[in-house]
Amino acid sequence: MSEPNSTVPSPPPNDKNEKDKNRPKLKILAFHGYRQNGAIFRGKIGSFRKAVSKYAQLTFFSAPHKVVNEDGSDEDTRSWWFNAEDNSFSGKCLGGPAIGFEDTLNLVENIVAEYGPFDGFMGFSQGACLVGILAAMQQKGYLPYTFQFAIFASGFRSGSLVHKGFYDEDINLPSLHVYGESDSIIPKEMSESLINLFNKPLVAEHSGGHYVACSGSIKDAYLDFLHERYQDIIEENKNEDGRTSYFKFLN
């Protein structure tokens, strides 16, 4: 169920703020990182959820592929696909396969059909990589659904051979890209390579590492970006209402 800051599926929370309840919000589908799941990701980005709650409601879900934990624990960690034959994933791997990627495409399509439509997609690390692929696929007309903006935290291009063809043209989609200057898992150069695919991207760099930053100027960047997207949706709805009234008048 798509509720504010929810993990699919979940019961709707009680909203005690009548003003917030009546105000439309942007619907954002959130994609977690490698070795996370929807619930883990939701728990890790509490500051982000709180910061954007004025403008957005987030829906979380889990990737289809279970990861075998190296420490032998039974924690439910997931991957959107694997790029090595031992069913592991590394963002720095170049030229590998994309094992299970079709399952992920099918899952996202089903989530959007059941809980969408979504105004935007947001992803972290491997999830941000996936959002970048989906944005490129949308640019080429390959998706059966649409989204109007994307937010990337520690994003990068996939090195899998089957994804290489998605990156051969510019992407016309409003986008915000956030990355850490000292990120050793996804170095800034990898994030910049993804950023370069987008027309007029907004970029916010922080001094930290591999996490979803949300303080100071980074928080302001999220809010400014979502405010603009919120205004875009309002204007679009006004135009739709105007066209509807016009056609009613003609009839």
Tokens of 81: 């696909």
193 within 8 A of 156, measured Cβ to Cβ: yes
Digitized pLDDT (tens) for each residue of the chain, 251 residues in all: 333 444 564 433 333 344 455 568 999 999 999 999 999 999 999 999 999 999 999 999 999 999 998 777 888 999 999 999 999 999 999 999 999 999 999 999 999 999 999 999 999 999 999 999 999 999 999 999 999 999 999 999 999 999 999 999 999 999 999 999 999 999 999 999 999 999 999 999 999 999 999 999 999 999 999 999 998 877 877 776 654 443 343 44
Shortest CA distance to 147 belongs to which of 191, 104, 115? Answer: 115
Tokens of 19: 């003003």
Q: Which amino acid is at 231?
A: Q
The values of phi and psi at residue 117, to 5°, are -70, 160
Cα-Cα end-to-end distance for the chain = 38
Q: Return the SS3 of 132.
A: helix
Which of the 8 DSSP states describes residue 206? E
> Active-site residues: which are they?
125, 183, 210
Q: With DSSP H G I counted as helix, E B as strand and the rest as coil, what are the percentages for the chain, rounded to 5?
A: 40, 15, 45
What's the pTM value of the predicted model, to 2 decimals? 0.87
